[in-house]
Structure 1
Amino acid sequence: MNIDQVMITFIAESRELLEQMENALLAVAHDGPEAVNAIFRAAHTIKGSAGMFGLDAVVEFTHVAESVLDKVRDGAVPVSDELVTLLLSCADHIGALVDAVEAGTLEGDTVLPAAGAPLVAALQGYLEGGVSVAAKAAVPMPAHAVSEAEQWHISLRFGADVLRNGMDPLSFIRYLGQMGRITGIATLTDGLPGADEFDPESCYLGFEIGFHSSADKAAIDSVFDFVRDDCQIRILAPHSKITEYIAWLDELPEQRERLGEMLVRCGSITAHELEQALAAQSAAGAAGGEVVPIGTILVDQGAVRAPVVEAALVKQRQAPEAKPQQENRSVRVDADKLDRLINLVGELIIAGAGANLVARRTQIPELLECTSTLSDLVEEVRDSALQLRMVKIGATFNRFGRVVHDVSRELGKDIRLQVSGEDAELDKTVVEKIGDPLTHLVRNAMDHGIEPVDVRAARGKPAQGTVALNAYHDSGSIVIEVSDDGGGLKRERILAKAVERGLVEPGRTLTDKEIFGLIFEPGFSTAEQVTNLSGRGVGMDVVKRNIVALRGSVEIASTEGVGTTVTVRLPLTLAIINGFQVGVGKSVFVIPMDMVEECIEFREADHAHADYVDLRGQPLPFVRLRERFALHGAAARRQSIVVVRYGSRKAGLVVDTLLGEFQTVIKPLGKVFSGARFLSGSSILGNGDVALILDMAALLNGVEADGQAAA
């Protein structure tokens, strides 16, 4: 076993479990017992996995938190805001311990474990008499207190190579003692060879263990997950458990299931025991022998008692036939490998475009047919590869539950988070880079947007303020809205501040959109006082810069006294798009295909001095790309207008030629061109030339500015 690889898996899974734990804690007020169970399972799994690696600091701290959660499950400790806040801090501390494990600094570190001491002290207050379950477990249990009927029996045989694989058999037994009370243990030495054949690196011991615990069979079995391939385990449940298993079987829904699956669901056997039994059944069938029923094999192996199997068979016969369900399978893939795949697909598209160009030039029918088939396959590969990198934005939205919980308490405000559209998907790279800007917008909305409770009451608003996150797809982009029902932006104050700083000339008339856009100027702030969260005029300019770097745009709409909505528009992917190519002289430009609505003929003579055309009774402003980019040469005799839409804005682009739709691999512009306006990237054509990708947000803003200047 590769211990380093297993440790990486432990760290990744621990972080996922901590995220689940945090989400369940934030939802515990609404979800009740289901959320409490999810929190307990996450803490228990982390503790169990940490115990396998001898991470005592993680095990000891998590065990105390788990003890409190156990009391919450039993109803002995009520769920309160104070307890939720404490458990969130505990999750943070466990996360810090896991980070130290990854960095290799946990062993010998006395500062980090000591930092959890105040949390342990607070947890102790929720435990009966201030004594934790861990302390109680250390008290010897009288022999007469343990009934044979309540005792698990574990038969354990370690393989000869367990020591060579870096595992200590006794560490598993010690960890087992943390889940309950080992009431008896017998060491089996019948496997010991003679002195001449004895190998000091081999393990020859087995154990028969009496175990008293309230844990279920799956939890006990999970203790041995990391040594599964190097041992044989038989776990025989207490007699008292038989009636519980039968009762659970009676409560199962009326649906057709295999016998083994039913026994796993009710907890009488583990998934591993079922796998072993199925393997034995298959081996017997392959050898030509009689196929033994799976229930008989499980009873013979000591995995389950006969009455439980009989009850499961009765339940199985009562259930109607059901259609088989498709198994959901997934695999964890390194993000770097996906990035490498996307890069290779991009190069494949460029090479395919070159092959198509050669085929059209030679006009060989067989070659044209082959390149056409290749193009279709490349397009399918592109779509599939991009889909691998698409993730739901809900994972990012869920982060803000904790932000709202913590910041609202820091500000002394009652604020709830409302999330919608969490199933909208976008590129993993975009998700990773949008987290920080969204965090700043949410915190800003809570600090400056939501009013204090007394102010809200005076305005007739609910005492609890709302910050809303919403996401949806529109025209090949994803739109994220951050809204609040607070006091809104004060238009006149923003304008006065802008005039004071020289950003706007006195007396100039600006639209609401232009005034609210001033907030994104560096150092701009109208806050009356500086807080720990904001008020220094630092941050909103960074938010806009980060969003623009993702080829996105950001706008603000606000009504004083009602609330504010910040709208962020981003591309679905940063790698490959369907592009519509147009020509202006010898230059080629690319327009994202999802923004193209239609193409119409343009007569220069009819619009020599106009900046709009009549499109079915509606004025359509347009911009001549030749003039916008100062391209030399005369315009084509026959020009076209490409009608594009970006959000709520629509405009036309006057071009010389329409080249059609092509797959476009987006390449970033070099530092020399980083300041170029109206461009968001470049692409390599099949003939090796470079095409420039238009920044539609900047272009349409330019069209609006030209129209207002002309007015």
Structure 2
Amino acid sequence: MNLEKAKQTFIDEANELLLAFEDDLLRIESAPDPERPEIINSLFRAAHTIKGSAGLFGFDYIVSFTHVLESVLDKVREGGLTLDAELISLLLNCRDYVGNLIDALESGIEIDPARDADRELLLVRLQVQLKQGIGDPATVAGTPVVATTVVSVASPEPQEATATREADTVASDHWHLSLRFGPDVLRNGMDPLSFIRYLGTLGRIVYLTTLYDGLPPASQMDPESCYLGFEIEFDSAVDKQTIENVFEFVRDDSTVRIIPPHSKLAEYISLIGSLPEDQRRLGEILLQGGALTYFELEEVLRIQRAEQQVDKHAARPLGAILVEENVVPPQAVLAALEKQKQSDERKSNEHRFIKVEAAKLDSLINLVGELVIAGAAANLLATRSHSPELIEATTSIAELVERIRDGALTMRMVHIAETFNRFPRVVRDVSRELGKQIELSIGGGETELDKSMVEKLGDPLMHIVRNAIDHGIEPEAERLKMGKPVEGKLSLTAFHESGSIVIEVSDDGGGINRARVLAKALQKGLVPPDLVLSDREILNLIFEPGFSTAEQVTNLSGRGVGMDVVKRSIEQLRGEIELESEEGLGTLVRIRLPLTLAIIDGFQVVIGRSTFVIPLDLVIECLDLQTDSELLQPRYLNLRGEVLPYVRLRDLFDIEAPPPARENVVVVQYGNARAGLVVDQLLGEFQAVIKPLGQLFRGIKGIGGSTILGTGEVALILDVPQLIQLASAGERAELTRHLPRHLSVARS
């Protein structure tokens, strides 16, 4: 067995359990009362599973800590501890500590528990909680039973009376014992009354009926044989195994049925529900849940084996035997069967999924990218050869390559919930630190995004969320003064739109004071005093380096770093960020990102002798450029009654080549904005493997990347959002100053 691989599996599963543990703790604060028991059971299961798995590998420092954590959660399950805000905070700290232990284990760092101050502090706090949860133990009056107590209470229909008692025992809070002593008990030197007397020392016998329906006629009676049976109502706090042990010396030739009280049955069902989902056998589940003892299990298995020997197909299932023989209450059997079903489903899911290292997946994507480029080259050569057979073969290969590409990219797509799930904890901790009440709502967690982008998106989103809590949402007193609810609203949403993914972070806080932003920008010299700015341009000043409107520097904000870093991080992902704000009502931060950074479907266009690629998802339609008489103005055209701004890429990129007789317009859309890109020639669709731009092109607007054509030449991928903004806002002069020199270098 490869222990390193097994250890890595333990680390991965432990991290998944810790994420679920944190989610449950954050969810339980607002969960309705009927849902809380199941969440508490889920918390207990997570701690129990981590402890058990760590024990298999001998990670005793993890086992010892999680054992105390598990004890606290067990006390919560029993109702001895209240899961309030203080205890939730402690459990979150424990979750973080166990996460640190797992990280250290993965990194190969040695742990010395004796010198771990965090561990000692958390253990003391957990022990304090355990002591607070211990109440006065319930006292059970043990009434010894003397011989005269055991009287023969005759009943004209003893069996019917017994059935009635057994049927309603589950509704009471007493154990019900059905005893049928074997005929040889007396011969073996055993006194049935002595067992009942000893039973009385463990609790209180509430009701006892002596059954003598097994007595033969007087002429056939053997004075050394026992014919008695007893039905007993028993009040005690002991468990089922302890009661069964009372009859240990006679259970081989006697029938002992122990039906739990209602409270015990609920405890069994709760314990069964909290068991780890790794048990496949019904008997093992009931055994671990305490509803079944080893002797009872062996007894029903003997019955089942005997039935199988007679008729294998007619033999009763184990669950049916347990119920029909009154060994285990039906409710407990049903709970165990449900747990068994969950285990089967979990095992089935394990067979359907396999874990792959991210590095191997990245390597596969790179190879697929090279395959796409090689396929394009082969297709070009086939077209030039004018061989129908070769063209048909390369076309088939191209279709297969496209399917392989799509499959490989799908494997690297993950739900953005992987990033979103960390924010309930962040919002809770930051809002408590600032003394604010904030409700976080998350939507669109199932939206898929390239894993490489998800990993790089966490930090920018963290800045935005923390700023919304600190700057956006007002303190409680101020919200009440403005007529707002005390609890602030923060929303985190993701969705697909126009071939890209959109992430929105919104709050119902005070919004952005544009006058204050402009005054601060003038004070810092970020804009000249005589410059007139639109509302959008004023809001975008927040993304300038060193800009901050915070009056005081805190550990959350006010040092002038953050939003400029956010914008730079988003732009490195070929995305854009924009702000919308209404003073007094709130702020919306919108991030747009491409779906992937690896391979895209592109649309090739030609300007002069240079080829450019436009992301196909952003292309709406293509048309001939209207004559000058048909144009509304030099930078606008009439598209079926709609005014469409356009930009002539030949002028923008300063391409020196004679223009064609008729130019073409590629209509593109990003979000809600549209524009036209004027080009010389349309070449059609093309699979583009995105290559990073060199240092020379860093920070250049209008260019989003590069790709390699089938001819081996390099083509630049156009940054459509920047070009749409250029066409709409008239920033041609700015881009023209920067682009020509770099493009001329690229063309050479």
Q: Which TM class, normalised by the smaller chain length? A: 0.7 to 0.9
1:69-109 deviation per Cα after TM superposition (whole angstroms, max 9, x unaligned)? 11111222112111111100110111112222223333445
Q: Which amino acid aligns with 2:130?
A: L
- The answer for the alignment partner of 1:682 in structure 2 is 706
- The answer for the alignment partner of 2:24 in structure 1 is 24
Q: Which amino acid aligns with 1:121?
A: V
Query: What are the equivalent positions in structure 2 for 1:296-445 lying under 5 Å apart?
Result: 328=349, 329-445=352-468
User: Residue 414 of structure 1 contacts residue 463 of structure 1 at CA under 8 Å; is this kept in 2?
Assistant: yes
Structure showing greater radius of gyration is: 2
Q: Which amino acid aligns with 1:436?
A: D
- The answer for the alignment partner of 1:70 in structure 2 is 74
- The answer for the alignment partner of 2:123 in structure 1 is 120
User: Residue 415 of structure 1 contacts residue 466 of structure 1 at CA under 8 Å; is this kept in 2?
Assistant: yes
- The answer for the alignment partner of 1:2 in structure 2 is 2
User: Residue 641 of structure 1 contacts residue 653 of structure 1 at CA under 8 Å; is this kept in 2?
Assistant: yes
> What SS does structure 1 have at the residue aligned with 2:129?
coil
**1:640 maps to 2:664:** yes
Between the aligned partners of 1:568 and 1:346, the Cα distance in structure 2 is: 27
Q: 2:496 aligns with which of 433, 453, 473?
A: 473
Between the aligned partners of 1:493 and 1:303, the Cα distance in structure 2 is: 76
- The answer for the alignment partner of 1:555 in structure 2 is 578
Between the aligned partners of 1:661 and 1:401, the Cα distance in structure 2 is: 43
Aligned pair in 2 of structure 1 residues 62, 35: CA closer, same or farther (>3 Å)?
Answer: same
Runs of 4+ in structure 1 deviating by more than 6 angstroms, as ranges, are 213-216, 241-251, 294-299, 302-312, 707-710
**1:99 maps to 2:122:** no
Query: What are the equivalent positions in structure 2 for 1:526-605 lying under 5 Å apart?
Result: 526-603=549-626, 605=628
> What SS does structure 2 have at the residue aligned with 1:126?
helix
> What SS does structure 2 have at the residue aligned with 1:116?
helix
**1:8 to partner: Cα distance:** 1.4
User: Residue 248 of structure 1 contacts residue 266 of structure 1 at CA under 8 Å; is this kept in 2?
Assistant: no
**1:613 maps to 2:637:** yes
Between the aligned partners of 1:64 and 1:215, the Cα distance in structure 2 is: 25
Between the aligned partners of 1:642 and 1:434, the Cα distance in structure 2 is: 31
Between the aligned partners of 2:240 and 2:690, the Cα distance in structure 1 is: 55
Aligned pair in 2 of structure 1 residues 467, 264: CA closer, same or farther (>3 Å)?
Answer: farther
Q: Which amino acid aligns with 1:702?
A: L
Q: Which amino acid aligns with 1:445?
A: A
- The answer for the alignment partner of 1:502 in structure 2 is 525
**1:60 maps to 2:57:** no
Between the aligned partners of 2:287 and 2:438, the Cα distance in structure 1 is: 45
- The answer for the alignment partner of 2:46 in structure 1 is 42
Between the aligned partners of 1:63 and 1:122, the Cα distance in structure 2 is: 14
Indicate the percent of aligned positions where both proteins have the same amino acid: 52
Between the aligned partners of 2:672 and 2:632, the Cα distance in structure 1 is: 27
> What SS does structure 1 have at the residue aligned with 2:614?
strand
Query: What are the equivalent positions in structure 2 for 1:205-244 lying under 5 Å apart?
Result: none
Between the aligned partners of 1:240 and 1:348, the Cα distance in structure 2 is: 70
Aligned pair in 2 of structure 1 residues 621, 308: CA closer, same or farther (>3 Å)?
Answer: farther
Aligned pair in 2 of structure 1 residues 571, 41: CA closer, same or farther (>3 Å)?
Answer: same
Aligned pair in 2 of structure 1 residues 615, 264: CA closer, same or farther (>3 Å)?
Answer: farther
Between the aligned partners of 1:129 and 1:247, the Cα distance in structure 2 is: 24
- The answer for the alignment partner of 1:255 in structure 2 is none
**1:295 to partner: Cα distance:** 6.5
Between the aligned partners of 2:728 and 2:269, the Cα distance in structure 1 is: 69
Between the aligned partners of 1:103 and 1:410, the Cα distance in structure 2 is: 31
Q: Which amino acid aligns with 1:19?
A: L
Q: Which amino acid aligns with 1:8?
A: Q
Q: Which amino acid aligns with 2:474?
A: E
> What SS does structure 1 have at the residue aligned with 2:371?
helix
Aligned pair in 2 of structure 1 residues 246, 518: CA closer, same or farther (>3 Å)?
Answer: closer
Between the aligned partners of 2:269 and 2:37, the Cα distance in structure 1 is: 22
> What SS does structure 1 have at the residue aligned with 2:730?
helix
Aligned pair in 2 of structure 1 residues 468, 130: CA closer, same or farther (>3 Å)?
Answer: closer
User: Residue 249 of structure 1 contacts residue 311 of structure 1 at CA under 8 Å; is this kept in 2?
Assistant: no
> What SS does structure 2 have at the residue aligned with 1:70?
helix
Unaligned runs of 5+ in 2: 136-174, 178-237, 242-255, 271-278, 290-308, 339-343, 735-748
**1:700 to partner: Cα distance:** 1.8
> What SS does structure 2 have at the residue aligned with 1:372?
helix
Q: Which amino acid aligns with 2:104?
A: A
Q: Which amino acid aligns with 1:93?
A: Y
Aligned pair in 2 of structure 1 residues 652, 503: CA closer, same or farther (>3 Å)?
Answer: same
Query: What are the equivalent positions in structure 2 for 1:97-176 lying under 5 Å apart?
Result: 97-108=101-112, 110-112=114-116, 114-128=117-131
Between the aligned partners of 1:405 and 1:504, the Cα distance in structure 2 is: 38
- The answer for the alignment partner of 2:234 in structure 1 is none
Q: Which amino acid aligns with 1:621?
A: P
User: Residue 258 of structure 2 contacts residue 327 of structure 2 at CA under 8 Å; is this kept in 1?
Assistant: no
**1:306 to partner: Cα distance:** 8.1
**1:489 maps to 2:512:** yes
Q: 2:648 aligns with which of 602, 606, 624?
A: 624
**1:110 to partner: Cα distance:** 3.4
**1:484 to partner: Cα distance:** 0.8
Between the aligned partners of 1:506 and 1:686, the Cα distance in structure 2 is: 52
Greater mean alpha carbon deviation, residues 4-13 or residues 534-543: 4-13
Q: Which amino acid aligns with 2:445?
A: E
Between the aligned partners of 2:364 and 2:14, the Cα distance in structure 1 is: 28
- The answer for the alignment partner of 2:155 in structure 1 is none
Between the aligned partners of 1:291 and 1:424, the Cα distance in structure 2 is: 54
**1:588 to partner: Cα distance:** 0.8
Q: 1:450 aligns with which of 465, 470, 473?
A: 473
Aligned pair in 2 of structure 1 residues 566, 672: CA closer, same or farther (>3 Å)?
Answer: same
Between the aligned partners of 2:730 and 2:465, the Cα distance in structure 1 is: 34
Between the aligned partners of 1:476 and 1:214, the Cα distance in structure 2 is: 62
> What SS does structure 2 have at the residue aligned with 1:507?
coil
Query: What are the equivalent positions in structure 2 for 1:248-259 lying under 5 Å apart?
Result: none
Q: Which amino acid aligns with 2:65?
A: F
Between the aligned partners of 2:133 and 2:267, the Cα distance in structure 1 is: 35
> What SS does structure 1 have at the residue aligned with 2:30?
helix
**1:677 to partner: Cα distance:** 2.4
**1:664 maps to 2:668:** no
Aligned residues: 577
User: Residue 268 of structure 1 contacts residue 304 of structure 1 at CA under 8 Å; is this kept in 2?
Assistant: no
Aligned pair in 2 of structure 1 residues 40, 261: CA closer, same or farther (>3 Å)?
Answer: closer
**1:311 to partner: Cα distance:** 7.8
**1:90 maps to 2:91:** no
Between the aligned partners of 2:703 and 2:479, the Cα distance in structure 1 is: 45
> What SS does structure 1 have at the residue aligned with 2:394?
helix
**1:649 to partner: Cα distance:** 1.2
- The answer for the alignment partner of 1:175 in structure 2 is none
- The answer for the alignment partner of 1:694 in structure 2 is 718
**1:240 to partner: Cα distance:** 5.4
> What SS does structure 2 have at the residue aligned with 1:353?
helix
1:480-519 deviation per Cα after TM superposition (whole angstroms, max 9, x unaligned)? 0011110000100111111222222223221211111110
Between the aligned partners of 2:420 and 2:518, the Cα distance in structure 1 is: 33
1:508-564 deviation per Cα after TM superposition (whole angstroms, max 9, x unaligned)? 221211111110110011111111100111111111101000000000100000000
Q: TM-score, normalised by structure 1?
A: 0.74
